[in-house]
Structure 1
């Protein structure tokens, strides 16, 4: 079974709620999972032979939340190549803020992970708060597909 680190960027707690629910579903499926709400580069690098999920809301002008930004900055600055790392990104956003800002936190993380040569297990999931008041309505089916690929 997979070892999965879940790295969360949250402003008001919505992304955190999603992350903890995803972690519970992973454990129910026999996988190991841990949620990081104040993640460090060391936490992240520990999964370089395993799998990470990034669950990020978007703040301001399409930016990464403050609690996830130090990890993003450290990855971007140190740029450790991680070709064995598998990943998935759940991006939470609101399309009413405009296309260039929509799910910006998750989009930026997805791009960076690709640049450090990590391999996506599934395409990034963009969750639009204008359409899905309850993000889990789309996250759980996406997670089901991801679990089939990981098994």
Structure 2
């Protein structure tokens, strides 16, 4: 059984609503979910498994509630030595190059910190998928099978 630390970046509540559904499936899968609402670098350093669920704001920015965490991780650069992680990135493809940029930024940073991606990053296009759960559910179930025992 794994304890998954969940970090949510949201502006209008879409990522938060999605995290509720994700937590429910995680707990039904005999894992534990730990939603971290005011994340710190220490929360990331002590996490045994990480899941970031984030929307992208404006011109590709990270939502305010995750921006300081991202900046601090980038400046402190704590090595995460193989910590398994996943990214659920939410965006709108009509924004072009900034589509899902917040999730992509976290993915790149975690790789630089030597964390271990479990599968591919999920990118949800709001212009195609008005409800993110139908896209997320199969990805999540597959991701959960890759968690180290």
Task: Tell me the TM-score normalized by structure 1.
Answer: 0.95
Structure 2: which 5+ runs fail to align? none
Q: Deviations over 1:52-111 (max 9, x none)?
A: 00000000111100000011011100000111310000000000111x110011000000
Runs (4+) of structure 1 moved beyond 6 Å?
A: none
Between stretches 35-44 and 19-28, larger displacement belongs to 35-44
Matched, 1:101 2:98: yes
- Out of 139, 145, 148, the position equivalent to 1:148 is 145
CA RMSD of aligned residues (A): 0.9
* Cα distance in 1, alignment partners of residues 111 and 66 from structure 2: 17
Matches within 5 A, 1:64-143: 64-98=62-96, 100-143=97-140
**Aligned residue-pair number:** 148
Matches within 5 A, 1:30-49: 30-47=30-47
Q: Which residue of 1 aligns with 2:11?
A: 11
Q: Deviations over 1:14-67 (max 9, x none)?
A: 0011112111110111101111232111222120xx110000000011110000
* Cα distance in 2, alignment partners of residues 101 and 143 from structure 1: 24
Task: Tell me the TM-score normalized by structure 2.
Answer: 0.96
